[in-house]
Amino acid sequence: MKRVIISGGGTGGHIFPALAIADALKEQFPSVDILFIGAKNRMEMERVPKAGYPIEGLDIVGIQRSLTLRNLQVPVKLWKSYRRAQQIIAEKKPEVVIGVGGYASAPTLLAAIGAGVPTLIQEQNSYAGLTNRWLGKYAHKICVAYPGMEQFFPADKVVYTGNPVRKDILQLPTRAEALQALGLKANAPVLLVMGGSLGARVINESICAQIRRFADNGIQVIWQTGKHFIEKARQAVEEQQAGEWVHPTAFIERMDYVYSTAHVIISRAGALSISELCVVGKPAILVPSPYVAEDHQTKNAMALVQRQAAKMVSEAQAPAFLVSDALALLHSPAEQALLSENIRQMARPNATQHIVQCIKSLVSSTAS
């Protein structure tokens, strides 16, 4: 394999799986030329070069939910992005184009399909969005993270692989090593609270309002707030004299350490977060974001709840119930064990290798 294009981004949930696929391709084919195509002014334009890969940015935006003049720009930008994607594909002559979701993925896949280039979609969610459902009719192969996705895509194209996760998540350090690195007590339970790379307002506010309860119950909290809430969180911890117990941070660099130490995790229900929770096998309370397309985070969460593999608190319920539910779960080893056992059964630790195998077979079959 010589030339590959990977397109998509916008959130860590799209970027990290894309990078995991790229790294795995590089391991098997050291000389492969991998180009990313993303959306200008989105986080992939920074994260992808940091990971060592070149990226081209398309001038594309998504449709705003509210009525705004910006929506009038969408068709024009989509057309310009499609034409630019056509140019890139004509210049690079990729053997395969992989779409991972995000604004740039649609015009890039459309251009590849029009040029007769083999295409693969990596669908992270349990409920496929409209764009991927439509593209799935024309793509050659679709790698999915949940069983039963034939309801959205042609059954003969679907491969149940799971979602790629970062390498460090697959081999966690010992808990003793992680506790020491983070400066945590060995004899007190740990709650990990995370709301995605930018944080989640309702989760942050629910924790902030009841910080003292964690200290009073002897619970250590690793609290990933996002950059916009970090100062408020630090002030609240200081005011409630909980600095010994509650540890806010804007961003977590070493997820392997915090996963290793956590007894219970509060998290959004993005596809990447859920895939990592399954692999690490930790009891979780999911608070789905209701602000994402087609409410797919709630559907992701329900896929676990229905298997008794996680608990769920809606955003509307979070201020009243999230902290109480977390404390109840932390005080119930039996329920922790049940959730942990069931969520581990949904793990697909070999997802990245399976997806790379699908890419290889697609390139081989179309080349012959």
Tokens linked to 13: 């949930």
Please choose, from the candidates 21, 286, 347, 343, the residue with its C-alpha nearest in 3D space to the C-alpha of residue 162. Answer: 347
Mean pLDDT in residue range 290-308: 89
**Predicted pLDDT at 20:** 92
pLDDT tens-digit readout, 219-267: 999 999 999 999 999 999 999 999 999 999 999 989 999 999 999 999 9
43 pLDDT higher than 60 = yes
**Distance from CA of residue 321 to its chain's centroid?**
25
pLDDT band at 53 (very low <50, low <70, confident <90, very high): very high
Mean pLDDT in residue range 70-78: 72
74 pLDDT higher than 80 = no
Q: Which of 100-104, 233-237, 292-296 has the lowest mean pLDDT?
A: 292-296
Please choose, from the candidates 106, 89, 87, the residue with its C-alpha nearest in 3D space to the C-alpha of residue 38. Answer: 106
DSSP state for residue 218 in the 8-state scheme: T
**Predicted pLDDT at 296:** 86
pLDDT band at 41 (very low <50, low <70, confident <90, very high): confident
**Predicted pLDDT at 10:** 76
Q: Which of 122-131, 267-276, 320-329 has the highest mean pLDDT?
A: 320-329
Q: Which residue has the tokens 């790229």?
A: 22
Mean pLDDT of the chain, nearest integer: 92
Q: Which of 27-31, 98-102, 186-190 has the lowest mean pLDDT?
A: 98-102
pLDDT band at 52 (very low <50, low <70, confident <90, very high): very high
H or E element: which one contains 184? none
81 pLDDT higher than 60 = yes
168 pLDDT higher than 90 = no
214 pLDDT higher than 80 = yes
Residue type, 308: Q
Tokens linked to 335: 């329920």
pLDDT band at 60 (very low <50, low <70, confident <90, very high): confident
Binding-site members for UDP-N-acetyl-alpha-D-glucosamine are: 11-13, 125, 166, 197, 252, 297
Tokens linked to 115: 């040029």
Please choose, from the candidates 259, 299, 251, 297, the residue with its C-alpha nearest in 3D space to the C-alpha of residue 278. Answer: 259
- Calculate the dihedral angle through the C-alpha atoms of 172, 174, 175, 176, rounding to the nearest 10 degrees: -150
**Predicted pLDDT at 67:** 56
**Predicted pLDDT at 365:** 87
For CA atoms 17, 15, 283, 238, give the dihedral sign. Answer: positive
Cα–Cα distance between 102 and 11 in angstroms, integer?
A: 8
**Predicted pLDDT at 65:** 54
Binding-site members are: 11-13, 125, 166, 197, 252, 297
Contact between 199 and 228 under an 8 Å Cβ cutoff? The reply is yes
Cα–Cα distance between 189 and 212 in angstroms, integer?
A: 15
Burial of 357 (0-12, 13-18, 19+ CB in 10 A): middle
Residue type, 348: R
All domains of the chain in start order, with CATH: 3-164+349-367 (3.40.50.2000), 168-344 (3.40.50.2000)
- Tell me the CA end-to-end span of the chain in Å, nearest whole number: 13
**Predicted pLDDT at 42:** 83
**Predicted pLDDT at 64:** 53
**Predicted pLDDT at 368:** 60
Contact between 363 and 118 under an 8 Å Cβ cutoff? The reply is yes
Q: Name 336's Cβ contacts closer than 8 Å, sequence gap at least 6.
A: 263, 264, 283, 329, 330
SS3 246: strand
Higher pLDDT, 198 or 162: 162
